Chain A
Amino acid sequence: MAGTAGSANDPGTPAGGPGRSSPRVVGPPRLGAAARSTLAAAVSTAVVLGLLVLVVVNAPNWPAVQESFFNGEVFWSSLPAILNAFRVNIALFMISEVLILGFGLVVAVLRSLPGPVFTPVRVLTTVYVDIFRALPGVLVIYILGFGIPGLQIPGVPSSPFFYAVLALTLIYSAYVSEVYRAGIDSVHPSQDAAARSLGLSRFQALRFVVLPQAVRRVVPPLLNDFIGLQKDTVLVSYIGVVEIFRASQIKQAATFNFTPYIATALVFIVVTIPLARFTDWLVARDRKRQLAGAR
């Protein structure tokens, strides 16, 4: 019956026929290709992940590992303390980030000053950037966190949190200043020339013309550095700041179980992935804009 109805309809639409059939001819194979590639991606991902899980779960000592790393009871009992301690990481991260954005910019600008008069400034900032990029972060945190309070200079703070912020700011400002500097260098000199030609001073040209363009261009790499900073906040546990990693160590010691570390790992994944996706989105948007601008 259906076949008859179909064939009966066909002669009834002779004019609309070609017009309607042409998108159908092009359409379905295209849709099919897209669906097929999505399906292929899903299947291959499932197969690979499934195999990995099978390998892990069938490992000779899996039950023991499962007990000490993936213990549901320990997970839920340690989570509140871990989340509570994470607030310290958030505070570290937020305060340091603001300081880094400011200090890194100052260093970048000082390092970009032209002419022989500013040679000492350029040398000093270059030495700073070189040293703090060369040193492992943990060492900086140790040296500042134990060394400066050890001097016992009156009036100098002794709070580990203070030295944690100081160390993270010094470490990351060195990287961030280089990112800024790349941004400043990427603004064509003719922009500065145009600003100076209008009578703007060197500082005004930098402030109103060069830096706004430079900063806009380096937002994605800056966010990338901040993802790193977010993770490196755990390093300050070494100088006695009770943050998420220290809290999970305490829980681990109390329960003789490593599940608190897994909980901490999950917290970082949950916080970092959205930031990473946001960075990717920014990069993609900038690329689209550049392509549109080049029309």
Chain B
Amino acid sequence: MTSRIILITGTRKGIGKALAEHYLSLGDTVIGCSRSLPDWSENFPGYEHFELDVSDEKKVTEMFGKIRKKYGKLDVLINNAGIASMNHSLLTPFDTVKKIFSTNTFGTFLFCREAAKIMQKKKFGRIVNFATVATPLKLEGEAIYAASKAAIVSLTETLAREYADFGITVNAVGPTPIQTDLVRGVPEEKMTRLLQRQAIHRFGKFEDVINVIDFFIREESNFVTGQVLYLGGV
């Protein structure tokens, strides 16, 4: 098997970084992006990074043009880049709302669209989006974050149907809280209560997410599409 070409968004830190390191260590070709440069990539000479905002259509289409010319294909897209804002809705500025939707929802859409254009040529592709348990758990203080991710669930389900004819599957993983910068601001007692609402009361780990994505992107998963898999029994 020739090496897979895997594009991951938001690779500078957190889950995206763990995913990039995982697939690089398996020998896949990994392309990443984020608004600033990662500090870990010199350990991986094969890794290629694009410094961009996922909601910047011009930069994003340029990047896909370069990927198409250089590799001629794209096997996997992992739409990991995401931001959150924990705040009561009464205290949430409209600008924050727009920023969260731009990154999470519009960014995901843009990447799905451009990736599918390349993937359809080979009639093969795997797209994995990022949902969150904040949506099904209806977490107070995360109204906008949860709404932006609910939209991603809907996109995942519909794009799965639109892209099925192209041999592309579209699925989503819904992590529980994992200790990254994203959840750093959440007060401890709130976090404890949150973990109690899961079937399995522990923090998520990077490996939990990687395991689900490994499953979605394997060749054999060609009959699995339009699914959202929530971790921790939510």
Query: Do chains A and B interact in one complex?
Result: no
Which residues from chain A sit less than 8 Å from chain B, CB to CB?
none
Binding site for A on B (CB under 8 A): none
